[in-house]
Amino acid sequence: MGEKDKEKEQKAVALKYEGKKDPSPRISVSGSGDLAKKIIEIAEQHKIPIRKDADLVEILSVLEVDSFIPLEAYAAVAEILSYIYSKNAERREKN
């Protein structure tokens, strides 16, 4: 696979945050190519909100699974968490 193909390869990172336990969100799973597609597929099956952010996934995809997000990513992750909380609230209102 050439460098251009690697650049275009799909990546996915899933975050986990247990507010009472964790000081910040952590990487729960990360992958590229077929694994990224599977991560997205599982999220969709479980109706987990998905947010596309190519720059953030580049930062987070180099971290080890189970590691906390770096300080530099806090603002972007906070925005994503806000998005997810709003989607969850919309879902609760519909039910």
Map out the domains of the chain as residue ranges: 3-94
Identify the CATH assignment for 3-94 out of 3.30.830.10, 3.40.50.2300, 3.40.640.10, 3.40.1690.10.
3.40.1690.10
pLDDT tens by residue, the chain, 95 residues: 444 455 578 999 999 988 888 888 899 999 999 999 999 999 999 988 888 888 889 889 999 999 998 888 888 788 877 887 788 788 788 87
> CA distances (Å), 39 to each of 55, 68, 76, 84, in order?
18, 19, 20, 17
pLDDT of res. 1: 47
pLDDT of res. 37: 96
pLDDT of res. 84: 76
Nearest to 50 by CA among 75, 76, 15, 74: 15
In the block, which residue shows the tokens 């987990």? 48
User: What pTM, to 2 d.p., does this model score?
Assistant: 0.73
pLDDT of res. 6: 52
